[in-house]
Structure 1
Amino acid sequence: MAKTEILTYDYVIDYLSKNNRPKHLLLGNGFSMAYDSGIFSYNALNKFIETIGNPLLKKLFFIVDNKNFELVMEQLDNFLEIAEMFGTDKKLISQIKNASEELKNSLIEAVKELHPEHVFTKPEEKSTACFYWLNEYLEKGGNVFTTNYDLLLYWVLMRNESKNHTDGFGRDKEDADYVPSNEANYSELRWGKNKSDQNVHYLHGTLPFFDGGIDIIKEEYTTKHYLLENIKERMENKEYPIFVTAGNGREKLMNIMHNKYLTYCYENLCAIQGSLVTFGFNFGQYDDHIIDAINKATKFREDSQGNLTKLYSIYIGVYSESDAEYIESIRKKFKCKVNLFDSKTAKVWE
């Protein structure tokens, strides 16, 4: 069998540009590891689930047959309200309260371990370099998709005041229309107002995004508190971050389809055209839902001008020969042309 050609990242971008091919980007955990492998060398949230010690929490995760933090925390809150209403044994109520607090506190600790705040005090050059790298897609009509729920992508786009990205969030004017804009009160950031222009998609959610019941809310940095402190405050008020963690592809897709924001992002991945470039995404055994979305995009459909279009090819970044061999072993899963490039030639943070 002939050895697979490994392209360079610059070659891929030049080729797609010369052929006027629309291009999109899919980021995985390797995007964060390339920034700082010492911090992002493992998924702290998944590790937390696997090593959780509280027997009540272990049982609850098993009963709901799910690794969804939001669902488990809501179940605990509901159970506690019912137990207190019916005057259930005080010892049991105490156990539920303790389990709930442990889950919330442990989640915050896992998040801090995933990326402590001081990570964002690194030289400006890193965020600037990454911003220009991302802009290759955003300023040319492409979409950026990520399965990461850490703060790196959000941080880069905010820190560089990106004008080419839209995550679908915006503020609603809460005063009457006749009140001047500079005097009006506006809502917190709600998803949906700008979704028609959305080009940044957090496929598995992200820590600053919260499901408020009716609205999806985005937490912001404030002058008073770090973002992680704001997240903790929301959790104490029984609001929980939206993210899809452990589970196989089917379980992840089920979680996605039960949230309007995640569903919208996933459906956008199913509808991309041209070519998809991936960086730091290994298409592991629990990523079949992502492959399914890519394959749905390979079907012909009409664009807004009535032209037939589809996803023609994917360019998968690989770090090593074993990575390349693995992609070769699953090549037949993809219904479009598969190309490989050396991820080390993509200078994301340099």
Structure 2
Amino acid sequence: MTFDQAIADSAQFSKRHLLLGNGFSIACRADIFHYGSLFGQADFSAVPEVEAVFQSLGTEDFEVAIRALESASRILPAYVPTGAAAGAKMVQHAAALKEILVATIAGNHPNIPPDIPDDKFWACRRFLANFLAQDGQVFTLNYDLLLYWTLMHDDMPFDAPIPLATNDGFGNDEDEPDADYVVWQGETGAHNAKIHFLHGALHLFDSGTELKKYTWIRKGKPLVEQAREAINANAYPLFVAEGTSAQKKTKIRHNAYLYQGFKQLTANAVQGRHCFFIFGHSLAANDDHILVRLARGRFPKLYVGIYGDPTAPENRQIMSRASALAHQRHDRWPLDVSFYDAVSANVWGA
């Protein structure tokens, strides 16, 4: 069906929620946010061996390479009793790949919102209004700033602006209310948040005592520039780029902000009158920690975006994985899955 048909069909439910994957960012700037583009821009000079890892695996996906290195480090001792040093090196290189991924995204990210045409932001706000103007919530697995920029881009020259709920759970630091950053307000204070960065983001930094969100309006400096400066000083943003779903879940459980977002997803998934939309995600197994919450939920309807020919092998895989989620449901709470044409959503404009 078209996206508009899916939205019309979902009117039967009290709330609709949205889960975003990397396809959301690729749809805006494929030259930057596609894994292949990131791979081409990455600097592997500090760990040149990892390029051979990508080549051996036939991939440019950082998470696949990270997962392979971490898995190999665990099984190597069973085959090479003297391979402890090599295993340790694989673990080090996996960690280095995570930092390279963050640095590459920051290094190639658009510098400021005006680098993206206003029309794209306004189109995206129209898309998000189907959720954030209807008391729904948005959960994103992306690290970049596009969603945040869109939410802040509210200077529309229209007679009828597009209002969106933008509460992400951050506010003034009670000890330093005039600081050039805002901090996460904790589980209780962030209970009404509508925006959740489930895997962290470039503008979220863990200082050890609190989670800070860098802002442009407080510091007068582009967020990407702030992130680059922090990374150059060896301070990395809150970022979940672990190899496997289990590793991602472990990191999420050990961070209060990430775990709160995870719990919000779970809480909405068990609501019998809600529905979920997925845009830009392949439903791959490395995000099963998120997908299993949908499979074990009680919401009755899932709409999954399909990009391009639905008979293409990759889309058949997505459809099969979506059907598998439905098969995992308890008989008392069946899940109906429908597919919509992702292009028809016009997320960043026609």
Q: What are the Cα deviations for residues 5-59 of structure 1, in whole angstroms up to 9, with x where unaligned? A: xx11111111112x1431100111111111122222226667889x84535997x
Alpha-carbon separation, structure 2, partners of 1:261 and 1:15: 33
Partner amino acid, structure 2, of 1:160: D
Aligned to 2:208: 213
How far apart are 1:348 and its partner, in Å? 0.9
Does the residue aligned with 2:238 lie in a helix, a strand or coil? strand
Q: What letter is aligned with 1:340?
A: F
Q: Distance in 2 between matches of 1:245 and 1:191?
A: 21
Kindly report which structure 2 residues correspond to 1:71-150, keeping only aligned pairs within 5 A, or say none: 106=100, 109-117=103-111, 120-150=114-144
Computing the radius of gyration from Cα coordinates, the structure with the larger value is 1
Other-structure match for 1:344: 343
TM-score, length-scaled by structure 1:
0.71
Q: Which 5+ residue runs of structure 1 have no aligned equivalent?
A: 1-6, 59-65, 69-98, 176-183, 299-310
Q: Which residue of 2 aligns with 1:34?
A: 27
**1:242-286 Cα deviation digits (max 9, x unpaired):** 111141111111121121111111111111131100110110131
Q: In the alignment, which residue of structure 1 is the partner of 2:80?
A: none
SS at match of 2:31: coil
- Kindly indicate whether residue 265 of structure 2 is the aligned counterpart of residue 264 of structure 1: no
| Number of aligned residue pairs | 283
TM-aligned CA deviation for residue 287 of structure 1: 1.8
Aligned residue among 213, 218, 231 for 1:235: 231
Instruction: Rate the CA distance shift 1:123–1:44 in 2: closer, same or farther, 3 A.
Output: closer
Structure 2 residue runs without a partner (length 5+): 51-64, 68-92, 156-162, 330-334
Judging changes above 3 Å, is the alpha-carbon distance between structure 1 residues 329 and 122 closer, same or farther for their aligned structure 2 residues?
Answer: closer
Q: Which amino acid aligns with 2:293?
A: A
Which one-letter code corresponds to 1:344 in the other structure?
V
* Cα separation, 2, equivalents of 1:56 and 1:37: 26
Separation in structure 1 between the aligned mates of residue 135 and residue 232 of structure 2, nearest angstrom: 39
Percent identical across equivalent pairs?
Answer: 32
Contact persistence 2:66–2:97 (CA under 8 A): no
Q: Within the alignment, does 1:333 sit opposite 2:325 as a pair?
A: yes
CA separation in 2, counterparts of 1:38 and 1:237?
A: 27
SS of the residue 1:24 aligns to: strand
Of 161-170 and 191-200, more deviation after overlay is shown by: 161-170
Cα distance in 1 for partners of 2:129, 2:108 equals 26
Q: Which residue does the alignment assign to 1:302? A: none
Task: Tell me the alpha carbon deviations over residues 179-212 of structure 1, each in whole angstroms, 9 at most, x when there is no partner.
Answer: xxxxx74573011264111011111110100111
Q: CA RMSD in A?
A: 3.1
Is the CA contact (8 Å cut-off) linking 2:180 and 2:214 kept in structure 1?
no
Q: CA–CA distance in 1 between the matches of 2:232 and 2:154?
A: 31
TM-score, normalised by the number of residues in structure 2? 0.71
Deviation at 1:174, TM superposition (A): 3.4
